[in-house]
Structure 1
Amino acid sequence: MTEATPILQSTLTCPECGHRQTETMPTDSCQFFYECKACGKVFRPRPGDCCVFCSYGTVPCPPIQLGRGCC
């Protein structure tokens, strides 16, 4: 049985200035911090989310996509 292939590109939207940036998500770790390329704001996941991609991205992180839960 083959496992689904997760989508690795997600577009993050800065909660401070609204800037959107497409990034490649790591497959072997969670990303807890992200610095906006436009305003420099460093942001973290919302309470209850495992990473910035799950909070601010267009696609959740690979472990969540695969139904494994996150880090």
Structure 2
Amino acid sequence: MPVILESIITCPACGHSRTEIMPTDACQWFYECGTCHAVLRPKPGDCCVFCSYGSVPCPPVQLAGKSCCGSGSSSAP
């Protein structure tokens, strides 16, 4: 199955959506909304902003079904 590199990321603050190309070699931990300028961070247990707010999980998760940051999902306090 081919890896999907485009994901529609949606800002939880204002609802603005934008199609972005996901990096294949790193986790993206921050994303600034182009409309309201909120800085998005991954939700607890997610490895990146695409896994939290995107329409498609990041490439490492698509390939391996696990966190792209190596340690798997973390537990919330």
TM over 0.5: yes
| RMSD (CA atoms) | 0.9
Q: 1:41 aligns with which of 35, 38, 43?
A: 38
**1:68: how far off?**
5.3
1:27 and 2:20 correspond: no
Structure 2 match to 1:58: 55
Q: Deviations over 1:18-54 (max 9, x none)?
A: 0001000000000000000100000100000000000
- Cα separation, 2, equivalents of 1:26 and 1:20: 18
Structure 1 consecutive aligned stretches of length 4 or more whose deviation exceeds 6 Å: none
Taking structure 2 as the reference length, the TM-score comes to 0.84
Secondary structure of the corresponding residue to residue 66 of structure 1: helix
Identity between Structure 1 and Structure 2 (%): 66
Structure 1 match to 2:5: 8
